[in-house]
Chain A
């Protein structure tokens, strides 16, 4: 294919990705070395607020942004180098905790706490999703033809349901005396509060993610199973290979590219875990890296944001995912090289 034709075909897609993904990314990267904030001044202001029946007026000194002649805030930008990164990573605190082997101390720093959970979440759910997906694919493949349709339909439900809604419904089932909590209390005979401690919340979050993502793995792997070479399977059977050996040496290797694909997608999605934190309202116990960025970006009641820290934390999050993806990228690289020749 000539370069010109290639460019014409790719241009619209590339343009959109550059405009809406790459450009903001570069902007965030550059801005993370700067800090911008309004110039503040201390003024004495009388303000009156209503009570019941009468007003209370107080005069107090407030520190508030200075406005210029046209009524706009005066913004000041300065180069701060790695200060924002330092504010997020808190290397001094980290080092102190590391020296005294104080794990709890590290977990008091938001970034490391979020990183710890994000990695735990990613690597616990990954094998569970793959195993459950493969198990379902094999089981459905065993089923009589007439039953396959309905089972596939029901299996896909957790995947298609809107994530925010899905997480909320899981919350209803478990929060307080939610029906499933009560069922567990009934069987165990003890008082259970799923949202009272960190580890149960973490289990719920992972359960939700496996519940909602296993169907994706299932449907891809099930489709893959339809293409397994039956001759090879039969040849193996004639050689006396057991069911397990057939699975281990013929089916799984055949599905390997698909398993890698599902793993790659899951790795990316799990690493940016966010819906669970919002939907299950876990921020009192558990936060993730993407939630941390979101938290810095969201204005507080008075409209203050920590933009520079948000930029630093999003760049750090990005570095993290690139590091995680490197093994996968190298594989793709080799694959592509092979194909190009």
Chain B
């Protein structure tokens, strides 16, 4: 079977693929997400192939489709989400889940699996209580999650469409092409309560309806994969791990709104996602799932990949479409028509985020009520977050809307590592805000986060411990927005610059009394005066840190003190005479030779040379812990 010539072909295709894959008794799935590849997962993959071949086991997938049985096979999968513990290997059908696998571990894995029917204990995830988890399901990181969009990411080979068929891929498209009118599909999307997963949370059904009703031809369906928020990689993982779900979702959208062409806009920094998408589109065309007369019915849809060229602002819908048109990505100035009416090449255009499209096949197959039953009344379904920063378990998570920040951080994320204390959680990237510990019980949904001064955003969630300076964090985000501002309107171009200059000064101890008021005032004017959503939200990191961490600003301005001891101009390093054993480690590591002292003698840091790099503190053996960081700065004694 190598094409879907009628929608009815799809059931037999699924059975055929399931049967073929079932002929493989054991399957080692190596995570080939960007994180695991960086950790060396491809070496693990090659070693598995090599050792299985040595055992004369046929690992060629094609033979399964020819009807041959196989004792074992190796495959790659998309991201499992638990990137921190990578490289990850999952063994099917048992679901045994190995973490931090090296090529050298492969012989043990093979022997345990194929010969002993057991597990390699040392590679199983170690729970905080010391016990080991055998499958993903037993790992605390996973068992509080509810995976829909990410469900297939770690279990199928994203480069083989037949794996997708085997897990009900394209059943939703077949279903609508046979039984549903475009309006009926839109009604389902509306009833599901799905809101756009790009950040703003606009109801998807209403957007689809707007594009459906808009006059003009051809229409376009565009997928926003320009995931620019620093600290976010949800969309990348979905595109890498299950590209066909996004493509199927877009095809369903095209059918619903009457679009002829589609574009997937992918960030330049995501080369692997581009490769996976190219392969997926190629295979979908081969199987008559893209192009003319899809599944043999009167429905044409062509899909292209557009690679972004490195501009955060292109995540904004009008900037994104202008960028595809080969122009500068400068958002269109309001008042302007909606993108659903006048979008790409001035034609009606439906633009949604990667995850929004990826939800669609499941919503069609399992029904609007099923989706609506997950999450909260106003925010249905699940939310995908990239959980990073000072957190024990960092990685990609999918949780039902309404779960609290506390549950995410402590139950799934495992809390703050190294005995640290939670200080703030940042959501929504540069447009979002930092929430303090007092708001940990805030439920995750569009409205609650908005109320707290942050936003849901696309899904970045960065956890910060007590060693994080909130003024520095605000400065960091403003630096980002200043660099990424398109520059067309004055409030954003010069406002972010001014805010940044003030924050830099505060971090340097040059803050003035009037700065706090000016920060408030300018933040509101940048919000009120900017052209686009990015400019309007650019000051959010300042506003939320001012709201929840004002004492830190005051310490910087009035006491010239950085409470978290981060801001270089407000800290000094010094060596405790009582504790220093004269081991010379610090003196040898100091890049500017600021430390003097004989062996076994107390060492001294020359404050006039020190650049506050902190290497001495890092190098000082824990048993001595003689180097300490102090703020405000030590006053230099004038000789």
Are A and B co-members of a single complex?
A: no
Binding site for B on A (CB under 8 A): none
Binding site for A on B (CB under 8 A): none
